Structure 1
Amino acid sequence: MVGRAGGQARAAVVGTGLIGGSVLLRLRDAGLDVAGWDPDPTTRRYAREQGVACPDAVEEAVAGRDVVFLCGPLPTLPETLSRVAGATDDGCVLTDVGSTKAEVAASAAAQGLGHRFVPGHPMAGADRAGVASATPALLDGAAWVLCPGPTGMMAFRRLAALIIDVFRARVVPMSAPEHDAVAALSSHVPHLLAGALAGAVQRAALRDAVLALAAGSFSDGTRVAGGPPERTANMLLGNRGQVLSELAAVRSFLDGLTDALRDGDATTLTAHLGEARTARLALHGRAFSTHHRQFPATVDHEGELAYLRELGAAGGHLTGCRVDGGGVTYTGHLPMVAEAA
């Protein structure tokens, strides 16, 4: 992302926990002029020890910046957005990294910030928290959702270019409601299931014996249960309707497995497990086709917005966003449909 004066962008990160701290460190390592801020004085001091400017006032940290990443807890984002918007000029791109998007997108629109706020969500994390756990490599190559809006295409382009260049991310453009629907099943429900399995073990009469025998299936299946409970609860409550809807679908599938097991129906049990195996095998190693799409840079963006949202909804992503010569060129990738045997 090129700054408004033609040089490299000046960035700020507000909220420097695991994700925010990792964003901060990667921007620092990429050579950007970056400042951080966190409400916790100890965290600010730690950031300074890492060689990053971290003023005591958030207004000082974000003043004169080209882009600001909002990385605090989900419930604080609307208020933080308002505060940061008031301390930055109209050309500063604002984004967040929260795991739900509809609520913060609505708040930005209500505040008249839709032209420069781009909701975002990097699909990466860890089962730990805090800036001491942050690493510049945490978000490398991640799928990073950005939610372009009809009045914010210029901001989307600038932000997408920076995220692709600095984080080597796969930018997934989606509408905020589509993100929340997809994230419910891909991320939020898995946190509930991990918590349910780990919680059942915690309550088990032979808890220590179970943990002694726990192998990869238990470890992999409960990894996210090791994260901070408050953070997970905020995520689930922030997307409650979608999570409950998708949880019902999971419950229905589990009921099918349960009925087949109770009835000793090996055929049905095997068929259900086969469906599950198909999805799991499709998770890695998918082939993608590559294409390039160009749009005029300064005219009505309806076609460009439709292309971006359709790309994300189809499971695609961007690895290039270049604005020059009066136009914007996207490098997009779509999953290839496997031919039937």
Structure 2
Amino acid sequence: MTDGVTGRYATVRAAVLGTGLIGGSLLLRLADAGLDVTGWDPDPVTREQARSRGVSAPATIEQAVAGRDVVFLCGPLPTLPRTLTQVADLTAPGCVLTDVGSTKVEVAAAAARLGLTDRFVPGHPMAGAESAGLPAASPTLLTGAAWVLCPATGAATVAFRWLTGLLVELFGARVVPMSASAHDSVAALASHVPHLLAGALAGAVQRSPLRDAVLALAAGSFSDGTRVAGTPAERTANMLLGNRDRVLHELAEVRVLLDELAGALRAGDAPALTAAYAQAGAARSALRGRRFAPADREFPVGGDHAVEVAWLRGLGDAGGHLTGCRIGPDVVSYPAWLPVAD
């Protein structure tokens, strides 16, 4: 990733709709890279904050998306299908549309109903903070993030290729291609259930008669374990409700392990507790020390999109990611990486 943009993306005109923490960070990075970018937010105070940071922030969506090559939808999850409909009507057929929502099935289904799968690529950058709003945004927040994109078969593959290259060049993104349903299943355990657990732990402390004493002694384990409980409550509720069935399924699996731990503790079974935490420690170690090997592939530019998309989704399902997309006259090349088995 470089500070500025060169080559095929240097003249891209972008719009960001919804300029909170993620959308605002997107907006600031695009502006820092020298792109022609506009930001829009329904809150006039937020629009003025964007202007104070040197970014164009028109008063209306119509003005913000006029003549754009790509539009990022960054508003609250429940608003995305409606905003997608509106923006599709306001932009040219060649304008690539994407979003940053933390669930993907609902908005992908909306795009399919609207006949927009040729240019809408569902997306989700796996980054954030417990703070919110444009004042908390940073042009570096999304740097190097794992960024899920959900390619659809058919002509949509062209939009996916273009967007992959843009995200890698501007953000140094590790693009993880997945189906919308696979994303929501993985995100349930990787992100959404941790929000439930953090909320439960922090909530238990808040209700405890020893609350102040607990907070006085709270160290890294409590702080790390409850960090996402500080996320704005409405945003967390939208995320959990948007992925309700998968979150409940994964929560049931976590409850099984909690019951096993409680049973071992109740029985004074030190070997069982030790074995359980050794297993958990292995997952933690794998998170910190993952190794990757190259898994590059090439496909004909005008070849079978279904074969290309099947490989892309398989790469993401296996824990791999893309570090670029090079489109030549006849061949599209994907520099890719897969995790090495422990």
TM-score (norm. length: structure 2) = 0.97
**Matches of 1:302 and 1:209, distance apart in 2:** 58
Q: Secondary structure at the match of 2:118?
A: coil
**Matches of 1:88 and 1:297, distance apart in 2:** 26
1:248-275 superposed Cα distances (whole Å, 9 cap, x missing partner): 0000000000000000011111111111
Alignment of 1:49 onto 2:27: no
**Matches of 1:59 and 1:301, distance apart in 2:** 33
User: Cα RMSD (Å) of the superposition?
Assistant: 1.3
Name the residue aligned to 2:320: 316
Alignment of 1:97 onto 2:100: yes
Q: Which runs of 4+ in 1 moved over 2 A?
A: 1-4
**Matches of 2:77 and 2:13, distance apart in 1:** 25
**Matches of 1:250 and 1:276, distance apart in 2:** 12
Name the residue aligned to 2:37: 34
Name the residue aligned to 1:131: 134
CA contact (8 A) 2:10 2:35 kept: no
Letter matched to residue 58 of structure 1: I
Name the residue aligned to 1:201: 205
Name the residue aligned to 2:241: 237
Identity of aligned residues (%): 67
**Matches of 1:8 and 1:220, distance apart in 2:** 42
Q: Secondary structure at the match of 1:294?
A: strand
Among 66, 69, 73, the alignment partner of 1:70 is 73
State the 1:285 CA deviation.
2.0
Name the residue aligned to 1:250: 254
CA contact (8 A) 1:3 1:9 kept: no
**Matches of 2:266 and 2:199, distance apart in 1:** 25
**Matches of 2:260 and 2:296, distance apart in 1:** 44
Letter matched to residue 232 of structure 1: T
Name the residue aligned to 1:189: 193
CA contact (8 A) 1:142 1:169 kept: yes
Among 188, 199, 215, the alignment partner of 1:211 is 215
State the 1:298 CA deviation.
1.7
Q: Closer, same or farther in 2 for the Cα pair 1:88/1:2, shift >3 Å?
A: farther
CA contact (8 A) 1:3 1:10 kept: no
Alignment of 1:294 onto 2:298: yes
Name the residue aligned to 1:276: 280
Gaps of 5+ in 1: none
CA contact (8 A) 1:47 1:54 kept: yes
Gaps of 5+ in 2: none
Letter matched to residue 98 of structure 1: G
Name the residue aligned to 2:228: 224
Name the residue aligned to 1:153: 157
Query: 22-31 or 7-16, which moves further after superposition?
Result: 7-16
1:280-338 superposed Cα distances (whole Å, 9 cap, x missing partner): 11111211001321111123211110110000000000001111122210000000012
Letter matched to residue 161 of structure 2: R
1:170-202 superposed Cα distances (whole Å, 9 cap, x missing partner): 000000000000000000000000000000000
Name the residue aligned to 2:310: 306
Among 27, 33, 44, the alignment partner of 1:24 is 27
**Matches of 1:298 and 1:55, distance apart in 2:** 39
Q: Secondary structure at the match of 2:245?
A: helix
